[in-house]
Amino acid sequence: MTVRFKGKSPSRRAFLKGTLASTAGAIAGAGAASAATPDPLITEKQSWAMGLGDGVDATPYGLPIKYESDVIRRNVEWLTADTISSINFTPIHALDGTITPQGCAFERHHSGAIELRKEDYRLMINGMVDQELVFTYEDLERFPRENRTFFLECAANTGMEWAGAQLNGAQFTHGMIHNMEYTGVSLRTLLEEAGLNAAGDLKDKWVYVEGADASSNGRSIPMEKALDDCMIAFKANGEALRKEHGYPARLVVPGWEGNMWVKWIRRIEVMDGPVESREETSKYTDTLANGTSRKWTWVMDAKSVVTSPSPQSPIKHGHGPLVITGLAWSGRGAISRVDVSKDGGKTWETARLANPGQPMALTRFYLDTEWNGEEMFLQARAMDETGYVQPTKHQLREVRGENSIYHNNCVQTWWVKSNGEAENVEVS
Amino acid sequence: MSKYRNLLIGTAIAALAAMPAYAGKLGLGRAALPEEVAAWNHDISPDGTGLPVGSGSVEDGEMIFSDNCAICHGEFAEGVDNWPKLAGGMDTLNHKDPLKTVGSYWPYLSTTYDYVRRSMPFGAAQSMSDDDVYAIVAYILYSNDLVDDDFVLSNENFLDVEMPNADGFIVDDRETSEKAFWAEPCMENCKDEVKITMRAAVLDVTPDEAGGEATEGAAPAAAEEPAKEEPKMEEAKAEEPAAEQTAALDPALVAEGEKVFKKCKACHQIGEGAKNKTGPELNNIIGRTLGGHDGFKYSKTMAEMGEGGLVWNDETLAEFLSKPKDYVKKTKMSFAGLKKDDDIAAVIAYLKSFSQ
């Protein structure tokens, strides 16, 4: 299945119509306003203050209140041939904090989201192990468990932007990402249960992992990573994985491209070389300007994006205090610093991290600032604990050319106009 | 491997602290039986390890490909609509917008066999015999001008096939080629001027927020009760004529239609529990208004034809199935059409058997 990253022919739309209409009036006044007439929401008795709300039996499992019904995953129809082997995007422009609720965390399937019961789940470990084993779901729950929070970013996140500013919204440019707290068993524990003496020197060994769905999405992972921090997860954010994220169990490969996080994982094979499967040769490889291609580009480099203000989250309030916020992450470790520029990269100021960066997990940043209707070219730039600094698109193109699709971690620019509206642009 | 080792050491130490103390085996799980390993262990390595004994010819492959793959990949592996192109693109990798196909890009032939056998055809994975997979791979090679039309691919000559881009890959070298990204960043006077070089609003390819596909299922507010009722009534109306037709169905023709329907299965479900997939589910299709299935997003043309009063029956189905794109301009159905009238009659009979 191919994901297309070049644009389609332009079409008409009225993307910002709604938000702009409500913006215009609000922007006029600035500072602490004084009311001319009393606010009827305060002076008049309201129905919700007089009648009754829902009982505790109304919603055994709750969805967000209807007023938040626009905070949803969205897909881009022209990207793929159909919606079964396709992708959608997390509404990062409307979320805050760092944990992504499962219900709006992006999905990527190659053969659709299957429904696999725990009772029908089997996990096999085979190949160069002392004893080839089969586990049931119940078996998995009897191993010592760990809880760890990681981001999962699709290698194609921001892929549509290689050729230039294309999609107007942080959800679409950067929404192939989510961040969850996983509960599960370390892959090392399971491999040791099968025994690795038969594999001999582990340094040049690999594990091949595949899922139970029709795509099976097989990937090869070097043994060093497999034994370091990979997990078989069965819970996310405290509850069972959603089917679209691999219920009942998926692989977690911290900091590495999302395609390797095999969902509905059914088999782990210890091997003496990589399988060179479709997903690690024809896809997820990076073709350079001279026509040669990089493979095994597993680590997701440091990256950040301002989530608000942004095209889908324009400034709707008046002049004065403004919270600029966004997300930063690195597959090489913890985020150490995020800088924000309002002038397209001429000058930078260091943002406040909501919490110290955690390795290979999303970090929330804020810049508490003042805005008086001036035009801004908003950018964020992440640094990680290895000293890596998120590059500009120019810097990336200098090394990689313009034919790449995956692993685009460039600095993003939002052009915030004087009316508070924002647009995805590329700047010199 | 060493390129990320240093980075891993740091995180490994942190990981150890969080990991539960664990030593030795817990005795969980059970030994995998050889039959079980054989049933699942289908991966094929570049050196041919894992290839089953068998063979298949370009000639056979052409037919099998036409029946099973051409719906999406085109008769000549040239790709239909947005589905992957499997052939062509030679010497385009250093051009703008390179065309990456099995011939122009894939470094190992083992990948093609492995992938076709485990995941294709879309919607009926793992349904082909090993010999059929050899034949399909042979045909894909032929479509890329890599073998002649009398070529027969087998486990014995598999490694003799030369893949044009076999040497086209290097291992991730970012830590050297992009070393400059590890540097203290500029904070002030970093550039003289900032000019807009491209605007997303000008390109205008962003989906409409309100009309996004996601709104359908995810927004509870959108699924109001009255909206659901109407289509249901239409379906109820359709029941009567359909029931009449079912009475006269020829079981042999229905059985024949079931075979033909294999071509449709990649996208359409029918029978108990059928759901909308790439295409709408087809239970009670007879008598259904064109574009009239609740919850499926049709092409504009299909929806308009339905609004104009067209209903699926023998005539409309036969016309659509012979040349879908002629009957419904810009239909989302990428299928090229059934060539034989007998097949069309059979598949309509099969559809009728689920329209009761």
Q: How does pLDDT run across A305-333, given as a tens digit for each residue?
A: 999 999 999 999 999 999 999 999 999 99
Among B96, B100, B199, the residue with its CB nearest the CB of A423 is B199
Decide if pLDDT at B314 tops 80. Answer: yes
- Please name the residues between 274 and 293 in chain A that touch chain B, using a CB distance below 8 Å: 275-278, 281-282, 285, 287, 289-293
Residue that terminates a domain, selected from A293, A327, A359: A293
Q: Domain with A314 in it: what CATH number?
A: 2.60.40.650
Between A238-242, B184-188, B263-267, B295-299, the lowest mean confidence (pLDDT) is in B263-267
The confidence score (pLDDT) of residue A401 equals 93
The confidence score (pLDDT) of residue B12 equals 47
Decide if pLDDT at B216 tops 60. Answer: no
Q: How far apart are CA A96 and CA A68, in angstroms?
A: 14
The answer for B97, left when phi > 0, alpha when psi is -120 to 50, beta otherwise, is left
* Mean pLDDT, rounded, for B219-233: 35
Residue that terminates a domain, selected from A293, A327, A345: A293
Q: Quick one: pLDDT band at residue A11, thresholds 50, 70, 90? A: very low
* Mean pLDDT, rounded, for A153-167: 93
Q: A109 in helix, strand or coil?
A: coil
Among A59, A93, A134, the residue to mutate for chain B (most B Cβ within 10 A) = A134
**Other Cβ atoms closer than 10 A to A137:** 17
Domain B42-160 and domain B226-352, same fold? Reply is: yes
Specify if A15 maps to a domain: no
* Mean pLDDT, rounded, for A68-79: 93
pTM (predicted TM-score) = 0.81
Specify if A59 maps to a domain: no
Between B163-172, B232-241, B329-338, the lowest mean confidence (pLDDT) is in B232-241
Among B12, B203, B219, the residue with its CB nearest the CB of A166 is B203
- Please name the residues between 25 and 84 in chain A that touch chain B, using a CB distance below 8 Å: 63, 66, 69-70, 72-78, 80-84
Do residues A311 and A396 both lie within one domain? yes
* Contacting residues for B237 by C-beta, under 8 A, at least 6 apart: B287
Give me the architecture of the B226-352 domain, per CATH: Orthogonal Bundle (1.10)
Do residues A307 and A207 both lie within one domain? no
Decide if pLDDT at A158 tops 70. Answer: yes
Q: Quick one: pLDDT band at residue A123, thresholds 50, 70, 90? A: very high
Specify if A77 maps to a domain: no
Q: Is A295 on the interface with B (CB under 8 A)?
A: yes
Across A204-302, the runs of DSSP E, i.e. the strands, are 206-211, 219-222, 231-236, 239-240, 250-252, 265-271, 286-287, 293-295
Q: How far apart are CA A320 and CA A374, in angstroms?
A: 11
The β-bridge partners of A231 are: A186, A252
Do residues A327 and A201 both lie within one domain? no
Q: How far apart are CA B15 and CA A361, in angstroms?
A: 13
What token pair was written down for B68?
Answer: 């099973």
Pairs from B296-304 (Cβ < 8 Å, separation ≥ 24) = B297/B213, B297/B216, B298/B332, B299/B328, B299/B330, B299/B331, B299/B332, B300/B330, B301/B328, B301/B329, B301/B330, B301/B331, B302/B328, B302/B331, B302/B332
CB contact under 8 A, A287 and B213: no
Q: How many structural domains comprise chain A?
A: 2
The confidence score (pLDDT) of residue A277 equals 97
Between A273-277, B192-196, B331-335, the lowest mean confidence (pLDDT) is in B331-335
Do residues A374 and A406 both lie within one domain? yes
Between B341-352 and B251-260, two packed helices, what is the crossing angle to 10 degrees?
110
Decide if pLDDT at A12 tops 70. Answer: no
Sign, CA dihedral A282-A284-A289-A292, equals negative
Q: B68 in helix, strand or coil?
A: helix
The confidence score (pLDDT) of residue A39 equals 96
- Among candidate residues A313, A310, A286, the one with its CA nearest the CA of residue A400: A286
Q: Is B221 on the interface with A (CB under 8 A)?
A: yes
The confidence score (pLDDT) of residue B20 equals 55
Across chain B, the runs of DSSP E, i.e. the strands, are 30-31, 55-57, 152-154, 169-171, 196-199
The confidence score (pLDDT) of residue B19 equals 53
Q: How far apart are CA B199 and CA A426, in angstroms?
A: 7
Each domain of chain B, given as residue ranges in start order, spans 42-160, 226-352
Between A98-102, A262-266, B122-126, the lowest mean confidence (pLDDT) is in B122-126
- Tens-place pLDDT, residues B103-133: 999 999 999 999 999 999 998 999 999 999 9
* Contacting residues for A99 by C-beta, under 8 A, at least 6 apart: A149, A179, A180, A181, A237
The confidence score (pLDDT) of residue A32 equals 66
Q: Domain with A253 in it: what CATH number?
A: 3.90.420.10
- Tens-place pLDDT, residues A370-427: 999 999 999 999 999 999 999 999 999 999 998 889 999 999 999 999 999 999 999 9
Cα of B168 to nearest chain A Cα, Å: 5
Do residues A206 and A336 both lie within one domain? no
The confidence score (pLDDT) of residue B330 equals 77
Decide if pLDDT at A360 tops 50. Answer: yes
User: What is the overall mean pLDDT for chain B?
Assistant: 83
Sign, CA dihedral B202-B208-B209-B213, equals negative
* Mean pLDDT, rounded, for B317-323: 89
Q: Which residues of A touch B207 (CB under 8 A)?
A: 13, 74-77, 172
Do residues A129 and A149 both lie within one domain? yes
- Tens-place pLDDT, residues B13-44: 444 445 555 556 899 999 999 999 999 999 99
Specify if A75 maps to a domain: no
- Tens-place pLDDT, residues B262-296: 778 778 889 888 888 778 999 989 888 898 888 88
Decide if pLDDT at A196 tops 90. Answer: yes
* Contacting residues for B123 by C-beta, under 8 A, at least 6 apart: A214, B265, B266, B267, B277, B278
The confidence score (pLDDT) of residue B231 equals 36
Quickly tell me which residue has 């609740």 as its tokens: B294
Q: Is A369 on the interface with B (CB under 8 A)?
A: no
The confidence score (pLDDT) of residue B18 equals 52
Task: Count each helix (H run) and each strand (E run) in chain B, helices first.
Answer: 15, 5
Do residues A307 and A288 both lie within one domain? no
Q: A350 in helix, strand or coil?
A: strand
Among A143, A292, A343, the residue with its CB nearest the CB of B170 is A292
Decide if pLDDT at B225 tops 80. Answer: no
Decide if pLDDT at A30 tops 80. Answer: no
User: What is the overall mean pLDDT for chain A?
Assistant: 93
Q: Is A137 on the interface with B (CB under 8 A)?
A: no
Size of interface A-B (CB pairs under 8 A): 346
- Please name the residues between 303 and 332 in chain A that touch chain B, using a CB distance below 8 Å: 311-312, 332
Q: How far apart are CA B32 and CA A12, in angstroms?
A: 57
Specify if A137 maps to a domain: yes
- Tens-place pLDDT, residues A197-237: 999 999 999 999 999 999 999 999 999 999 999 999 999 99
* Mean pLDDT, rounded, for B182-206: 92
Decide if pLDDT at B229 tops 80. Answer: no
Q: How far apart are CA A335 and CA A385, in angstroms?
A: 6
- Among candidate residues B162, B149, B142, B138, the one with its CA nearest the CA of residue B55: B138
pLDDT cut 70: percent of chain B above it: 82
Specify if A37 maps to a domain: no
Q: How far apart are CA B56 and CA B239, in angstroms?
A: 47
- B42-160, which class in CATH? mainly alpha
* Mean pLDDT, rounded, for A363-371: 98
CB B138 within 8 A of CB B61: yes
Q: Which residues of B touch A281 (CB under 8 A)?
A: 106-108, 111, 169
Among A1, A13, A65, the residue to mutate for chain B (most B Cβ within 10 A) = A13
Do residues A178 and A287 both lie within one domain? yes
Q: Quick one: pLDDT band at residue A16, thresholds 50, 70, 90? A: very low
Domain hosting A393: range is: 303-425
Residue that terminates a domain, selected from A241, A259, A293: A293
Residue B324, preceding bond cis, omega within 30 degrees?
no
What token pair was written down for B257?
Answer: 């239609």
